[in-house]
Structure 1
Amino acid sequence: MSSTTLTGIIALLFYVGTLLLQRRSVNLGSARSGTRAGTLVAGFIGVAAHFYSAGSLIYRDTAYHFGVTEVSTLIFAAITLLTLLSNIRRPAGSLILAVLPLAILSILFSLIVPSTYPPQHLDTGIATHVILSIVAYSLFSIAALQSIFLAFQNYQLKHHHVVRVMRLFPPLQDMERLLFELLWAAQILLSLAIAAGFLFVSDWGAQGLAHKMFFSLLAWVVFTGLLVGRHVLGWRGTTAIKGTLTGFGLLLIGFYGSKFVLEFIL
């Protein structure tokens, strides 16, 4: 059995254990520190194994693999880690119950479905830039989707409409808090990706990299303004939603705009 498979199975077992502990806590209506600590310990062991499994999937046989299988499990490892860290400061068991099943599916997908993405032989610096960019953009994508859901949730609350499906999701405050934690994590990764790009990328004309970097920098400015506004002025609600979608829109223009020009115009 390979180390990738072994650590993936370990992650699965500890994630299932974390879910059972959290479900038991919810059913008993218990917020005891012992139960919560056990849930967090099991979760962190699982996420450590998850990261190892994801890393060994991405870099194997002296090459990097950036297929959907590899990238998806890495992204969900990052999201799970953020959820657990969020739960340290303030209990958010409903988020754990929402995120961990998706993380489990991502591991099963990575262990069962073979990747057909061709291996990439890259320098360590370039590979670091690519990995940081992929994870940052993915976290921003999830934050954008969450902001859309928050907009819908805000609309329902303002107009006193209660849709049954809304009861399946965590409370609005928890979802908004996780949104900003996603934005912080994604912004840190984007900052590192931009720095790595300036350090290690030499041919900015290749594949529209200059165009992508320009819009990435614009998005970085927007997200920085949003996060500073949240910290200093307490921005939330509609302002947070508009800021998130604006920054994400700039990232989309940077990525798909350059691809459109390269594939259909030049």
Structure 2
Amino acid sequence: MHPLLPSLAAAGLYAGATAYQGLRLAQRAVPDLRLLTALSVLALLAHSLSLYFQLIIPAGLNLDFFNAASLITAAIILLTLLACRTIPVANLLLLFLPLGCLTVLLAQFGPAGTVRPIDEEPGILAHILLSITAYGILTIAVFQALLLLLQDHQLKNKRPSGLIKNFPPLQTMESLLFGFLWAGWALLSLSLLSGWLFFEDLFAQHLLHKTLLACVAWVVFAVLLWGRYQLGWRGHKAIRLTLAGFCLLMLAYFGSKLVREFILHI
């Protein structure tokens, strides 16, 4: 099967789910979680089918720039849907579903980067899986931080919007943020450890910037978590450090891929 059909189906379903949730929130009403989840799951299934045909090629795993972005976005949406079953994070879908629509279309229609297929050795695949899951959870954390910032700003100005009125209390939002940060940091630690174990030289020329930036991001998140539980850091300081760590991490992965695939062509 050609990935075009599932890609278009996924994009349409993501757009429909986004429109439904956005309209309900604009009307200051709570979206039907079962309907929203059903639309999102259908979109994610079509997205996954598209990814299967785009990623799996005879030479190995085709993890070029846009395929990688699409895969990480699918992981983010999956993790958010799983989290929705037990914690109040459904509002994050309003941010992630359009991202899913965009990345699935870019993976289908965007220019192909110059990248060597990845040999599917178990250790390398384990490292990739850990990295994607860590990036996914930390992406959820950074959007949670942005929503927390928006909620705090609107509550201070006493002008909460329809979206904000559907949020949990500020303290719950902050607890959720640090829960995501703990989980993401732990997975990032395992990802870096697996890289040391399964790559011959993590400081080879084509991996040097990625490795150094990822290590600096790990330190930023570690300092943030230490400051939270030892010094009581919260609010804007916690949000700034979350954004700083996330930017370093995204620069480590997507920045290096962008330069290698579209500028240096290696």
Please classify the TM superposition score into its range, dividing by the shorter chain length: 0.5 to 0.7
How do 1:1-266 and structure 2 match up within 5 A? 1-2=1-2, 4-19=3-18, 22=21, 26=25, 27=27, 29=29, 35-124=32-121, 125-126=123-124, 128-130=126-128, 132-133=130-131, 136-137=134-135, 140=138, 143=141, 147=145, 154=152, 158=156, 160=157, 167=161, 170=164, 171=167, 173=170, 179-180=177-178, 183-184=181-182, 186-207=184-205, 209=207, 213=211, 216-217=214-215, 219-224=217-222, 226-227=224-225, 236-245=234-243, 247-248=245-246, 251=249
For structure 1, the residue ranges without an aligned partner over 5 or more in a row are 258-266
Does structure 2 conserve the Cα–Cα contact (< 8 Å) formed by 1:86 and 1:178?
no
Does structure 1 conserve the Cα–Cα contact (< 8 Å) formed by 2:11 and 2:102?
no
Does structure 2 conserve the Cα–Cα contact (< 8 Å) formed by 1:19 and 1:97?
yes
Higher helix proportion (structure 1 or 2): 1
For structure 2, the residue ranges without an aligned partner over 5 or more in a row are 257-266
Does structure 1 conserve the Cα–Cα contact (< 8 Å) formed by 2:76 and 2:140?
no
Does structure 2 conserve the Cα–Cα contact (< 8 Å) formed by 1:147 and 1:241?
yes
The TM-score, its normalising length taken from structure 1, stands at: 0.66
- The amino acid that maps onto 1:194 is L
Which residue in the other structure is 1:263 paired with?
A: none
Over aligned residues, Cα RMSD in angstroms?
Answer: 4.5
Q: 1:116 to 1:250 in 2, by over 3 A?
A: closer
For residues 131 and 88 of structure 2, what CA distance do their matches in structure 1 show? 30
Sequence identity, in percent?
A: 35
Higher RCO (C-alpha 8 Å, min separation 6): 2
The TM-score, its normalising length taken from structure 2, stands at: 0.66
Q: 1:180 to 1:12 in 2, by over 3 A?
A: farther
- Cα distance, 1:94 vs. partner? 3.7
Moved more, 195-204 or 7-16: 7-16
- Cα distance, 1:211 vs. partner? 7.5
